[in-house]
Every structure is written in structure tokens, then in C-alpha cells.
Amino acid sequence: MIPGAERRLVTVAPGVNLELFEAGAGPAVILLHGFPELAYSWRHQVGPLAAAGYRVIVPNQRGYGASSAPAPVEAYDLESLAADVAALVRWAGAGPAVVIGHDWGAPVAWHAALRYPGLVRAVGSLSVPHAARPSRPPLELMREAAGPDHIHYIDYFQQPGVAEAEFEADVRAGLLGFYWSISGDAPRDERFRPIRRGARFIDSFAPPAQLPAWLTAADLEVYVEAFTLSGFRGGLNWYRNVNRNWERSADLAGAVVRQPALFVTGSRDPARNPPAIERLRDVVPDLRVFAILEGCGHWTQQERPAEVTGAILRFLREIDARADL
């Protein structure tokens, strides 16, 4: 599915296999996707990173593509997802890896860095910055922020089966509309709208009149085919663990990510969390690469492939150059 990469199926936990795509040889770099995406979202980065001398490993995470999709909701908490990353590093067998995530892949990468510091030598994220653990359960904070007339989309996703049915009624329109609505190309009147109470999530956006330049018809078809087969339950179950993640991370309150780090986001990305970005160096003191791409939306590595690839390569070269000193 990713040109130049070899497909593998790797067991990461009892009964859990991850489909992944691997290219190149050298120090391991693991790239983690978000929702609703696939390993394919990193298609532009795999070849250049492999050519630069790295072993690039890009999994379809739990619930995506041909990877396992366990039935229990709690199988998708951050502890389980970070353990999957640790299992991939051990499977690669080449020492600690660089782990970089986008969207939901970002908190998985940051969590893996905190939980498995001996396996993660450097860490980075696109779109979603690392943030200190909040003092209260996330859903409480989201409900307060949404107010009485609206519902936060993560809160909307809490009821199993609801958002799944909306997406699966028309997979192509649902994916394309969502991709478009939080991209950097969407004009203000076509961007994702807050969900009013009693309304449907799927009504908060609509497909564009034509595909954006960064998403070809063939690209879209890869996603449509995959989600038509897998459905959306696995990916949406990640959201159903936000309070569980908070409960299980009490020991990480005040924790600091010590590894060298990278962060890249877009100026039009609704997930960029400006307050967290302002405080990023407090929780990630060794931040080596920091970039905000003007006009870029949420799908960072797809909307701005050359800039993202360049930032990652600069990061890798710097940490490896310092390691040689």
C-alpha cells in the first residue's frame, strides 16, 4: 500500500497483530497515524527517510486496516497503545527508536516516551503537542467548554455505535467531508462546525466540490476501501478512553519528557492547542525542532509533505550528530 515498503504482520500482544509497512535499513523510526487515517498517511515520508539511512516502520494501529481490532473498549487505552509501540521497538531489535506521531498517534508517541524511556531515544509529534496531565477528568473539562448548547465531538463519540453508523452510511462522503473541513484549504464557511445538541456529528461538515491538491482520487480510495472493510469502531474506541487514560496516568502528573523532541503543526489546525504549545517547553525541555506551518491544516504530513519531511530529517540528523560527539 506504501510504494517501496514491505508489508508485514507483527504480533505485539496476545491476540493482537499489527499490519505495518517497512522500508530502509539503519536506526529505527516509527511513524504513528491518527483518526481517521492509516499508515498510508505517511506515504510521502517513508521513501525519503529510508533513502537517508533510516529503517522506517509505519503500522496501522489497533482498529485500523488489517490490524487487530479487539472488542473491548478498554483495549484502546494509551497504556495498551504505548505497549504496542514498545513491542514494535523490541521486534525491530535495533536498539531504541525514534517515535513520531500525528493526531492520535501524537499522545501515543509521547506516552511511549514517558513509559518506555529505554526504548524511545527521541520523540516527536505533528498537530497535537504534549501537555501536562489536567487536574480533572478530560470529559468534565470538555463539557464545561462546550456549554449548554453544544457538545464536544469527543463527548459525542462516547456512545458506541452512533458515530460509527453516521460514517459508515456513506464512507466516502464522511471521510472526504471530514478531511476537507479541518484542512488548511477549506474556507471559513466550509470548516468543521461545532455540534449543536441534538444534531449529528456528520452534519458538521460536507464534502468539497473538488478534491484538494494534496489528496488524489487514488489516495482517497485507499482510505475508503480500508474503512469500508474495517468500519470505524476501532478508531472511535480510542476516544472512549480519554477519562480512562487520565485515571491510569496519575503517576505521570508533573512528568517531563526528557528525550530530544520535535513538534510541527499548522496555523489552521484546530487541534494545535495554542495554550499547550505556549507551555510545551515546560513539559518537553529538550525541544530541538519546532515549526508552525502557515496556512496548513490538520493533515500536516499530507498537506505539506516536503516541509514535514524536511523537519523530520533535520531532527534526525541533529540527534544523530550529537550522539556521535
pLDDT digits (tens, 9 = 90+) for 170-221: 999 999 999 999 999 999 999 999 999 999 999 999 999 999 999 999 999 9
Q: Is 221 exposed, middle or buried (0-12, 13-18, 19+ CB in 10 A)?
A: exposed
Nearest-angstrom CA–CA distance, 19 and 41: 14
Region 292-305: mean pLDDT is 98
Residues for the chain: how many in total?
A: 325
Nearest-angstrom CA–CA distance, 52 and 316: 10
Region 275-297: mean pLDDT is 97
Q: What percent of the chain has pLDDT over 70?
A: 99
pLDDT above 70: residue 248: yes
Residue 9 sits at φ, ψ, to 5 deg, of -125, 120
Nearest to 293 by CA among 180, 191, 184: 184
Residue among 33, 111, 130, 298 flagged as catalytic: 298
Rg value, the chain, Cα: 18
The yes-or-no answer on residue 282 being catalytic is no
Q: Specify the range with the lowest mean pLDDT, choosing from 124-128, 142-146, 318-322.
A: 318-322
pLDDT tens-place string over residues 21-53: 999 999 999 999 999 999 999 999 999 999 999
Nearest to 313 by CA among 283, 282, 280, 291: 291
Residue among 103, 155, 185, 269 flagged as catalytic: 103
User: CA–CA distance from 298 to each of 53, 62, 267 (Å)?
Assistant: 28, 21, 9
The yes-or-no answer on residue 44 being catalytic is no
Question: pLDDT-derived band of residue 321, with 50, 70 and 90 as boundaries?
Answer: confident
Nearest to 21 by CA among 64, 77, 52, 80: 64
pLDDT above 70: residue 325: no
Question: pLDDT-derived band of residue 1, with 50, 70 and 90 as boundaries?
Answer: confident
